[in-house]
Amino acid sequence: MPFVNEKTYQRYLSEGREEEFHRLFEEGLERMELGREYPLLLREEVRLQNKFEVRSPINNSLVVGVFQRGDQSNVKEALRLAKESYREWSQSDWRERVELTVKVAEEMRRNKYLLAATITYENGKNRFESVAEVDETIDYFNYYAQLLEENRGYVRPMEGRTMRGEEGVSVMRPFGPWLIISPFNFPLAITATMTLGAVITGNTAVVKPSSDTPLSAYRLVDMMLRAGFPKGVVTYVTCPGEEVSKVLDHDLEVAGFAFTGSREVGHALLKRFIELRPRPAVLELGGKNPTVVTSKADMRKAVEGTFRGAFGFGGQKCSATSRVFVESPVYGEFIKQLKARVEKAVIGDPRKRETFLGPLINRSALDKFRRFVDQAQSDGGRILTGGRVREDKETYLVEPTVIVDLPYSSPLWKRELFVPILLVKEVKDLKEAVELANDVDYGLTAGIFSQDQEEVRYFFDHVQAGVVYANREVGSTTGAMPGVQPFGGWKDSGWTGRNAGGPYYLLSFLREQARTTYQ
């Protein structure tokens, strides 16, 4: 049966109920209880003496919540519970796991707008992006449940025989307790895909969210527990990243870990982790994602797709469009139209329906934006539009920025920036564009705009990326949906080669056991 995605806003829009969508989101904002304290979720709720506040990037006078400042002892306690729970959970019927997973999806659907409001307050996404992230999370739960059901729990009789009375079965089995380390930019969806990937396959999971956005992960784990996932199967610990690193470095009780974040941090964690003992890891480590615009492109689609791919959520996506290579015959017209489109973007409070671009996540990101703009100019680049910080001590608003004429010798062409800065370069032809597109260590997403199917085929055959798009107006390199575009990277962008939201992802959390009996 084909998988059906959630697609809330599109559904309301097609049914002429857009105002209802906005009303429901605003009710979600009103349901937010700002300033509440949230515990660790172990066998019981745990409150510690040391705590920290999370303030909203919308206005840093708003306290989203108060959270426990755990340490490695709390992580180890969570691991101990995960190990205890694993014994029984690993033997559970896959049908039970599917049933619980679907129950969580239903609970999320009932609380969709509270979850979306949580994301908006935590990381500054506008309402359309926040609701879309909740939809993506629901999709992960339903899609992985469908996958496990279609594969009958990954138990497969083997057809071959070497002798009479021989019966062989391939059984995919879990590893044990996993550490889940999730990022700020998709605090619900990415946390969910890694956590559920572990537990639906019979592993257990200790969830450590980003310290910028711990509330979305709290709500996720809380919903899973209330839906019936046993305590200890999934736990939640808030602590500094270095406390988790200490556990990964030394604790053999960790059967595997899943991490989404920067390449530098991910590689450092992985090296130390497998040096202690070879074990599985699921890593998604960013990108430097190119878009190619040929002379045969639909210019309207190319401009809109590039704008949305580059500046959705302020470029704070691993899939964000960061480089554009434009063929010479259309270069002038493309940058003219792109400049006009960028300058129409509404920047401000993401709680308002007209806002496209909300704040960056924190002061560090703001400083990084300033530094990269200055570097682009000192390296010889020219600001086509943007480049300024909106001076406001209570939030972190910046202008979406397009840089042209930047010499290719600048290191900015190959470094992931994670702020709303787009580099545009003129090229002579498609071959040159693809060569430049591949000339980075990353290989996450890539896009092309061309009405020529031969050009599209050449691009797909030669570009080095795990997720590729042609003529995607809603985001030239962004917007992968579970069950439609499996999301994951090549080269330094990934590790397993099995993409989230795709048919092979759950196998990253499983190992094969061949069982043979004789009559």
Residue 510 has which token pair?
């499983």
- Pair (251, 314) in one structural domain: no
Q: Is residue 226 predicted with pLDDT exceeding 90?
A: yes
| CATH number reported for the structural domain that contains residue 43 in this entry | 3.40.605.10
How many C-alpha atoms does 169 have within 13 Å on its Cβ side? 11
pLDDT above 80 (res 356) = yes
Q: What is the pLDDT of residue 1?
A: 73
Q: How far apart are CA 233 and CA 230, in angstroms?
A: 6
State the average pLDDT over residues 380-404.
95
**Given pLDDT bands bounded at 50, 70 and 90, which one contains residue 393?**
confident
First to last CA, the chain: 38
Residue 390 has pLDDT above 90, yes or no: no
Residues 420 and 400: beta-carbon distance below 8 Å? yes
Let me know if residue 502 belongs to a domain: yes
In terms of domains, do 457 and 514 share one?
Answer: no
Q: How confident is the model at residue 249 (pLDDT cuts 50, 70, 90)?
A: confident
Q: How far is CA 487 from CA 143, 283, 449, 470, in A?
A: 14, 12, 20, 16
pLDDT at 174: 98
Q: Is residue 11 part of a domain?
A: no
The reply to whether 7 falls in a domain is no
Total domains in the chain come to 2
391: pLDDT strictly greater than 90: no
Report the candidate in 511, 497, 512, 510 with the shortest Cα–Cα distance to residue 198.
Answer: 510
Q: Using pLDDT thresholds of 50, 70 and 90, give the confidence band for residue 2.
A: confident
Average pLDDT over residues 178-194: 98
126-177 pLDDT, tens per residue?
999 999 999 999 999 999 999 999 999 999 999 999 999 999 999 999 999 9
**pLDDT, mean of residues 334-350:** 98
Q: Are residues 153 and 67 in the same domain?
A: yes
Q: What is d(CA 91, CA 87) in angstroms, rounded to the nearest whole number?
A: 7
Same domain, 324 and 349: yes
Please tell me whether residues 381 and 432 are part of one structural domain. Answer: yes
Q: Which residues of 237-265 are buried (b: 16+ CB within 10 A; e: fewer)?
A: bbbeeebbbebbeebeebbbbbbbbebeb
pLDDT bucket at 271, cuts 50 / 70 / 90: very high
CA atoms of 450 and 385, how far apart (whole Å): 25
Poorest-pLDDT segment among 132-146, 225-239, 385-399, 447-461: 385-399
2 in a domain, yes or no?
no
Catalytic residues: 284, 318
Q: Which token pair is 19?
A: 């105002």
**CA 423 – CA 117 distance, rounded (Å):** 32
Do 75 and 60 lie in a common domain?
A: yes
Which residues span the domain enclosing 425? 289-483
Are residues 173 and 236 both part of a single domain? yes
What span, in angstroms and rounded, lies between the C-alpha atoms of 231 and 111? Answer: 22
What value does the mean pLDDT of the chain take?
97
Give the integer Cα–Cα distance in Å for 5 and 232.
Answer: 30
pLDDT, tens digit, 9 for 90 and up, residues 399-417: 999 999 999 999 999 999 9
What is the pLDDT at residue 392? Answer: 81
Residue 6 resides in a domain: no
Task: Please compute the mean of the pLDDT values over residues 182-195 and round it to a whole number.
Answer: 98
Q: Identify residue 213 by its one-letter amino acid code.
A: T
Report d(CA 400, CA 133) in Å as an integer.
22
Whether residue 374 lies inside any domain: the answer is: yes
Q: C-alpha angle 425/429/435, rounded to 5°?
A: 70
Residue 450 pLDDT: 98
Q: Are residues 232 and 336 in the same domain?
A: no
Alpha helix (H) ranges present in 277-406?
Answer: 299-311, 328-342, 363-378
Same domain flag for 87 and 194? yes
Which structure tokens are listed for 133? 């992230």
pLDDT band at residue 517 under the 50/70/90 scheme: very high
Residues 76 and 221 in one domain: yes
Query: How far, in Å, CA of 87 to CA of 58, rounded?
Result: 44
**Mean pLDDT, residues 30-42:** 98
pTM confidence score: 0.97
Q: Is the pLDDT of residue 179 over 90?
A: yes
3-state SS class at 69? coil
Give residue-wise pLDDT tens across range 84-140.
999 999 999 999 999 999 999 999 999 999 999 999 999 999 999 999 999 999 999
User: In whole angstroms, how far apart are CA 392 and each of 59, 347, 397, 419, 517?
Assistant: 9, 13, 8, 18, 71
The answer to whether residues 313 and 405 belong to one domain is yes
In a domain, 114, yes or no: yes
Give the chain's radius of gyration (CA, Å).
Answer: 23
Residue type, 456: V
What CATH number did the domain enclosing 403 receive?
A: 3.40.309.10
pLDDT in tens, 209-221: 999 999 999 999 9
* pLDDT for res 347: 97
For residue 255, is it within any domain?
A: yes
Region 192-196: mean pLDDT is: 98
Residues 259 and 402 in one domain: no
